[in-house]
């Protein structure tokens, strides 16, 4: 479908056949929990699946469906489902993939709550997991066993921005007939489309770039119709973490500007990453858009641009990192990403605090590491704010 129209156009127009009689340009919000049947026989037909139509919003809603159809087109999938949060999407997918005693192979450096969920699945259901940086085929093959039912990948890996070659992972997975699930939150379909590369399921925390305004919590899953139909009828319907019609509408609105927002997030981030790299107090900058990124070949192959998230390490202790953050004025201290506002957080004590220190260190999440979600402000104002806080830290260092 995107052979005819470009993705920027599809973000605004795809499946826009949702008028319901009044010519409404914006998708109407069907704020209803249930749908009345014309007669009892119709109710029976709908429940039996013999007639299309809505029954009850947990099972489907026209506003939510408009969003699902649009994101399915954008990711190049057959069907999508919307969830009440990114974690509702992650948990529905992981539960759909596993039975007690199964095994999940994951990329190293997962989102904190995904890590927590896997821990819970291990304790309660004996579903084990292994972590891998997935840098070579051998590394992946070595950790696949006969109970491995899926591979779960996040790329770029938060917060150190290492990437995983999705084409390579998909190839190994095919050889073992195991589906690959990709958490595509950091990229969105505008920057990376894992289904087109051969992966099987894509999921999102739509709370981040897709919503884009820091005002909604939501999740999305996209994949083949056969799998998605099963997910809709079991894990989604019976666990019940569905998205509300109003929140679906907010995401439809967010999608219309996703491409221009991401272009600006990216150009701001690329500029800031360069400035940070030149600053004497900054030891290291992690940003997939940098020309000297050691994995540039993979990045150029699978990502349109480096996106809006940067991590960098300053010389110093946790206290020094916190002091730097406390000296920022414009930039807000908050977790999350993809908002219009630039946000800063300290992974070792915030998003990745649940990970034991030893493992955290191995992942490169040291006490001096700081993550920025670059927003849509004028880039000069952002740099002004960062520079004065960095210089403050630097003065203290020289004095000490
Ligand atoms: C935020 C996030 C999640 C969880 O999403 P929620 O909407 O907060 O439930 C999952 N994966 C990644 C990569 C995230 O950044």
User: 378 exposed, middle or buried (CB, 10 Å; 0-12, 13-18, 19+)?
Assistant: exposed
Element (H, E) at 311: strand 309-314
Rounded (10°) angle between helices 62-75 and 245-256 = 40
Nearest-CA residue for atom 7 of ligand 1: 86
Rounded distance between C-alpha atoms, residue 253 and residue 160, angstroms = 31
CATH number at residue 244: 3.40.640.10
Using the predicted structure, report yes or no on whether residue 255 has a pLDDT greater than 50.
yes
Query: Do residues 360 and 295 both lie within one domain?
Result: yes
Do 208 and 332 lie in one domain? The reply is no
Q: Which residues contact 299 (CB under 8 A, 6 or more apart)?
A: 163, 288, 289, 293, 306
Give the Cα separation of 30 and 149 in Å (integer).
38
Reading across the β-sheet that carries 343-345, which strands appear in turn? Answer: 282-286, 309-314, 369-373, 343-345, 332-333
In the prediction, which pLDDT does 399 show?
58
Q: How far is CA 295 from the centre of its chain?
A: 20
Rg (the chain; Cα; Å): 22
Same domain? For 227 and 247 the reply is: yes
How many angstroms separate the CA atoms of 270 and 383, rounded? Answer: 12
CB 53 within 8 A of CB 46: yes
Domain of 329: which CATH number?
A: 3.90.1150.10
Query: Per the domain annotation, does 321 fall within a domain?
Result: yes
Judgement on whether residues 338 and 282 belong to the same structural domain of the protein: yes
Domain count, the chain: 2
86 in contact with ligand 1, CB cutoff 6 A? yes
Whether the pLDDT of residue 125 is over 80: the answer is: yes
Say if 103 falls within a structural domain. no
Q: How far is the CA of 87 from the centre of ligand 1 (A)?
A: 6
Q: Which domain holds residue 239?
A: 7-30+61-98+167-256
Same domain as 236, residue 220: yes
pLDDT tens for 184-243 read 999 999 999 999 999 999 999 999 999 999 999 999 999 999 999 999 999 999 999 999
Task: Name the residue of 84, 156, 185 whose CB sits within 8 Å of the most ligand 1 atoms, as the mutation to test its pocket.
Answer: 185
- The domain boundary, picked from 225, 256, 287, lies at 256
Residues 194 and 228 in one domain: yes
Residues 346 and 218 in one domain: no
Does residue 212 sit within a domain? yes
Atom of ligand 1 nearest to the CA of 114: 10
Is there a single domain that holds both residue 179 and residue 328?
no
Q: How many CB atoms lie within 10 A of CB 398?
A: 8
Q: Ligand 1, atom 5: nearest CA belongs to which residue?
A: 86
Q: What would the pLDDT profile of 287-327 be if each residue is shown by its tens digit?
A: 999 999 999 999 999 999 999 999 999 988 999 999 999 99
pLDDT for 1 equals 46
My answer on whether 270 and 222 are in the same domain is no
Angle at the Cα of 344 (from 339 to 347), degrees rounded to 5?
Answer: 115
Q: What is the percentage of the chain residues whose pLDDT exceeds 70?
A: 98
């Amino acid at each position: 479908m995107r052979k005819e129209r470009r993705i920027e156009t599809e973000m605004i127009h795809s499946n826009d056949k949702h008028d319901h009689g009044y010519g409404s340009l914006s998708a109407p919000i069907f704020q209803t929990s249930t749908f009345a049947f014309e007669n009892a026989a119709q109710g029976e037909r709908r429940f039996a699946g013999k007639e299309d139509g809505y029954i009850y919003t947990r099972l489907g809603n026209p506003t939510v469906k408009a969003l699902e159809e649009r994101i399915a087109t954008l990711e190049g999938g057959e069907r999508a489902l919307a969830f009440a949060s990114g974690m509702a999407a992650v948990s529905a997918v992981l539960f759909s993939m596993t039975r007690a005693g199964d095994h999940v192979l994951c990329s190293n450096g997962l989102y904190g709550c995904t890590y927590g969920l896997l821990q819970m699945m291990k304790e309660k259901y004996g579903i084990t997991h292994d972590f891998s940086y997935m840098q070579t085929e051998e590394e992946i093959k070595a950790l696949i066993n006969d109970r491995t039912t899926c591979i779960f990948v996040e790329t770029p890996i938060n917060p150190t921005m290492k990437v995983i070659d999705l084409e390579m992972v998909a190839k190994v997975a095919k050889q073992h007939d195991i589906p690959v699930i990709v958490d595509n939150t950091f990229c969105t379909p505008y920057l990376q489309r894992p289904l087109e590369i051969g992966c099987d399921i894509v999921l999102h925390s739509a709370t981040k770039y897709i919503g884009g305004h820091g005002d909604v919590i939501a999740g999305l899953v996209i994949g083949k119709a056969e799998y998605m139909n099963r997910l809709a009828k079991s894990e989604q319907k019976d666990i019940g973490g569905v998205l509300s019609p109003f929140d679906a509408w907010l995401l439809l609105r967010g999608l219309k500007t996703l491409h221009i927002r991401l272009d600006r997030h990216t150009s701001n981030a690329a500029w800031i990453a360069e400035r940070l790299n030149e600053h004497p107090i900054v030891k290291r900058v992690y940003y997939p858009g940098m020309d000297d990124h050691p994995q540039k070949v993979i990045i150029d192959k699978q990502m349109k641009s480096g996106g809006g998230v940067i991590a960098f390490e300053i010389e110093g202790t946790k206290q020094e990192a916190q002091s730097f953050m406390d000296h920022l004025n414009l930039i807000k201290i908050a977790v999350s990403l993809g908002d219009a506002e630039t946000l800063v957080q300290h992974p070792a004590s915030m998003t990745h605090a649940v990970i034991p220190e030893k493992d955290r260190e191995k992942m490169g999440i040291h006490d001096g590491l700081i993550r920025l979600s670059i927003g849509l402000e004028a880039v000069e104002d952002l740099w002004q704010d960062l520079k004065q806080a960095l210089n403050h830290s630097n003065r203290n260092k020289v004095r000490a």
